[in-house]
Structure 1
Amino acid sequence: MIIRRGNLQDLPAIQELFKQTVRTVNANDYSAKQVKVWASSVEDLERLQNFFTIEEFYLAFDENKLVGFASLKGTDYFEKLFVHKDHQSKGIAKQLVDVI
């Protein structure tokens, strides 16, 4: 597992991981309407780019594939923490939290 700081070039991979996770993992806890709106929230590229100015992103890779990401707002507040649907329960979120 490699964890590194995210940058704007990572946005397409972040968008895809986010949408897949919300549509599958989070679909167990939210209504179909909520999932649809939430998953589409990353389609606004300008909004997503702005997150990089106010949050620090950290990405977890396994064999060059993005398997999770987290973002910090300030020094002690996690704004986002998502793990790919196919990599749940493997300790990726814990590794991200430990590194950050």
Structure 2
Amino acid sequence: MAQALPKPALRPLLPADVPMLAAIFVAAIQELTGDDYSEPQQEAWAAVADDEVAFGKKLAGELTLIATIQNSPVGFASLRNNDHIDMLYVHPSVAGQGVGAMLCDALEKLAGARGTKSLSVDASDNALEFFRKRGYVAKQRNSVTVQGEWLANTTMQKTLGAAAGGAS
């Protein structure tokens, strides 16, 4: 008989989470983005977490939620200025199991409750379909430099409010 997976839970960021979130960030980039980004691009992107103090300050300066399974962090998402999903990363071991959707649902609800009319995200190429399925619409293609490497992403936007309700 198949065993049910433990249900993920959400909680706010704690300072002690930063090393684990940095590890999730790196693992997600290394293991989930290889079809869309070269190894040098992945290494440059993942290097953002090398300075854990700066990484922690960035997360603490935004509304950051942690997804946990049996009290262990398995993903995180952060909302900047109530209207932009800045980060959304899940550990490869739970990719495709609804953790990212749960984090995104929570940020959309929080942003909507704070009066935000639309939410934007600069989606990596591997995250485009995830956001498209959630009702985000591509607005513009971007090239950003990270640690000397060029990475492409797409700014996407979703209107919140009445149209977003009922999709829980």
User: Over aligned residue pairs, what C-alpha RMSD do you find?
Assistant: 1.2
Query: Percent identity, aligned pairs only?
Result: 27
Report how many aligned residue pairs link the two structures: 100
Greater relative contact order (CA < 8 Å, ≥ 6 in sequence)? 1
Higher gyration radius (CA):
2
Q: Which runs of 4+ in 1 moved over 2 A?
A: none
The structure richer in helix per residue is 1
Give the letter aligned to residue 16 of structure 1: A
Q: How many angstroms apart in 2 are the aligned matches of 1:52 and 1:89?
A: 24
1:1-40 aligned within 5 A: 1-40=8-47
Q: TM-score, normalised by structure 2?
A: 0.56
Equivalent residue, structure 1, for 2:106: 99
- Picking from 76, 79, 90, the partner of 1:72 is 79
5+ residue gaps, structure 1: none
Q: 1:53 to 1:67 in 2, by over 3 A?
A: closer
Give yes or no for contact 1:7–1:57 (8 Å, CA) kept in 2.
Answer: no
5+ residue gaps, structure 2: 1-7, 108-168
Is it true that 1:81 corresponds to 2:84 in the alignment? no
Give yes or no for contact 2:62–2:80 (8 Å, CA) kept in 1.
Answer: yes
